[in-house]
Structure 1
Amino acid sequence: MSYGSTPPYPGPPGWGGWMPPPPKPGVVPLAPLRLGDILGGAFATIGRHWKQLLGMAFTAYGLALVAIASAIAIAYTAHADRLDRVLDSDVAPGWDDVAPLVYTFGAVYVFGLFVVLVANALIYASCPAVLQDAVLGHPSTFGRVWRRSVRRVWSVLGAVLITALIVAVPLLLIGTAFVALVVTLITLSSHAGEFGWLILFGFLGAVATGPPAVWLWVKFCLAPAAAVFEGQGAVAALTRSSQLVRGDWWRIFGISLLAYIMAAVASYVVQLPFSLLNAIGPSLTDDASTSGAALTIVITSLAFGLVALLVGQALTAAFPQLVVSLLYVDRRIRGENLAPALAEAAAGPPAAH
Structure 2
Amino acid sequence: MNDTPGWASPGSSPSDGQEPGATGPAEPAGRPGSAQPSPPADQPGAQAPDSGAKWSKEQPPPAQWSAPSGPPSPGQAPPPPPPGPGWGAAQPPGGHGGGHGTWQAPGGYGGWGSQWGGPPPAAKPGVIPLRPLGVGEILDGAVSTMRAHWRTVLGIALTVAVVIEVVVILLQGFVLDERTGTAALEDPDATLDELTRAMGDALLSSAVLFLITLIGTVAATALLTTVTSRAVLGKPVTTGEAWRDARPRVLKLFGLIFLLLFIALGVALLGAVPGILVTLAGGGAAGAGLTVLGSLCTGVVALWLMVRFSLASPALMLEKQGILKAMSRSAKLVRGAWWRVFGIQLLATVIANIVAAIVVIPFTFLAAALSGDGVSGFLDGTGDFGWMFLIVSGIGSVIGSMITFPITAGVTVLLYIDQRIRREALDLELARAAGVRGYGPGTADPAPGS
TM-score above 0.5: yes
- Write the letter of the residue equivalent to 1:310: V
Matched, 1:45 2:134: no
Percent identical: 34
Match in the other structure for 1:218? 307
- Note the 1:245-264 alignment, pairs <5 A: 245-264=334-353
Q: 1:310 aligned to 2:398?
A: yes
After superposition, the C-alpha distances for 1:97-121 in whole angstroms (9 at most, x for unaligned) are xxxxxxxxxx999987655433221
| One-letter amino acid of the counterpart of residue 407, structure 2 | F
Query: 1:229, CA displacement in angstroms?
Result: 1.1
Residues in 1 aligned to 2:229 and 2:393: alpha-carbon distance in whole angstroms: 32
CA distance in 1 between partners of 2:421 and 2:159 (Å) = 33
Output one character per residue of 1:156-193: Cα deviation in whole Å (capped at 9) or x when no partner. 222222222233246557999999xxxx9xxxxxx995
- Aligned partner (choices 131, 140, 143) of residue 240 of structure 2: 143
**Is the CA contact (8 Å cut-off) linking 2:313 and 2:326 kept in structure 1?**
yes
Residue aligning to 2:123: 23
Give the aligned partner of residue 222 of structure 2.
125
Equivalent residues in 2 for 1:31-180, closer than 5 Å = 31-64=131-164, 115-169=212-266, 172=269
CA offset digits 1:237-296 (Å, max 9, x no partner): 1110001111111111111111111112111111122122113224999xxxxxxxxxxx
Q: Amino acid of the residue matched to residue 145 of structure 1?
A: A
Alignment partner of 1:327 is 2:415: yes
Query: Structure 1 residue 18: deviation in Å?
Result: 2.1
Tell me if structure 1 keeps the 8 A contact 2:222–2:317. yes
- The 1:178–1:147 alpha-carbon spacing in structure 2 relative to 1, beyond 3 Å, is farther
SS of structure 2 residue aligned to 1:135: helix
SS, match of residue 328 in structure 1: helix
Unaligned regions of 5+ residues in structure 2, if any?
A: 11-109, 180-203, 375-385, 437-450
Structure 1 residues 321 and 75 mapped into 2: Cα distance closer, same or farther (>3 Å)? Answer: closer
Match of 2:326 in 1: 237
In structure 2, C-alpha distance between the alignment counterparts of 1:160 and 1:144, rounded to whole Å: 23
Range moving further from structure 2, 16-25 or 247-256 = 16-25
Structure number with larger C-alpha Rg: 2
Paired residue for 1:338, among 413, 421, 426?
Answer: 426
Residue 224 of structure 1 deviates from its aligned partner by: 0.6
Q: 1:24 and 1:170, CA in 2 relative to 1: closer, same or farther beyond 3 A?
A: same
Query: How far 1:333 moved relative to its partner?
Result: 0.7
In 1, Cα distance between equivalents of 2:395 and 2:142:
22
For 2:231 and 2:340, locate their aligned partners in 1 and report how far apart those are by CA, in whole Å: 23
Aligned equivalent of 2:360, options 250, 271, 275: 271
Q: Which runs of 5+ in 1 are unaligned?
A: 77-82, 84-106, 185-190, 286-297, 349-353
Q: CA deviation at 1:139?
A: 1.1
Give 1:322's aligned amino acid: G
Residue 203 of structure 1 pairs with residue 292 of structure 2: yes
Deviation of 1:70 after TM superposition, in Å, equals 8.5
**What is aligned with 2:316?**
227
CA deviation after TM superposition for structure 1 residue 54, in Å: 2.9
User: CA distance change for structure 1 residues 56 and 45 in 2, over 3 Å: closer, same or farther?
Assistant: same
CA distance in 2, matches of 1:170, 1:264: 27
- C-alpha displacement of 1:313: 2.8
Give the distance between the partners of 1:118 and 1:68, measured in 2 at CA.
Answer: 12
Cα distance in 2 between the residues matched to 1:115 and 1:210: 23
Q: 1:205 to 1:169 in 2, by over 3 A?
A: farther
Residues in 1 aligned to 2:224 and 2:272: alpha-carbon distance in whole angstroms? 31
What is the distance in 2 between the residues matched to 1:234 and 1:170?
19
Task: Flag the 1:307–1:220 CA change in 2: closer, same or farther, 3 A.
Answer: same
**How far 1:133 moved relative to its partner?**
1.2
Change (3 A) 1:110 1:41: closer
- Residue 85 of structure 2 aligns with which residue? none
Match of 2:383 in 1: none
Mean alpha-carbon deviation: is it higher for 217-226 or for 154-163?
A: 154-163
**Following the alignment from structure 1 to structure 2, what is the Cα–Cα distance between the partners of residues 261 and 59?**
23
Q: TM-score, normalised by structure 1?
A: 0.70
- The Cα of 1:48 is off from its aligned counterpart by 2.1
Seen in structure 2, the aligned counterparts of structure 1 residues 212 and 111 have a Cα distance that, compared at 3 Å, is closer
Q: So what's the TM-score if we normalise by structure 2?
A: 0.56
Secondary structure (helix, strand or coil) at the match of 1:18 reads: coil
The change in CA–CA distance for 1:174 and 1:277 in structure 2 (over 3 A counts) is farther
Q: State the secondary structure of the residue aligned to 2:147.
A: helix
What pairs with 1:274-289 in structure 2 (closer than 5 Å)?
274-282=363-371
> What is the alpha-carbon distance in structure 1 between the residues aligned to residue 258 and residue 421 of structure 2?
28
Q: What is the root-mean-square deviation of aligned Cα atoms in Å?
A: 4.0
Q: Is the 8 A contact 1:176 1:199 kept in 2?
A: no
Q: State the SS of the aligned residue for 2:233.
A: coil
Deviations 1:1-43 (A, max 9, x none): xx22246685748663621100111111010001111011111
Deviation per CA, 1:84-142, whole angstroms, max 9, x where unpaired?
A: xxxxxxxxxxxxxxxxxxxxxxx999987655433221122123211111111111211
Q: Which is further off, 147-156 or 256-265? A: 147-156
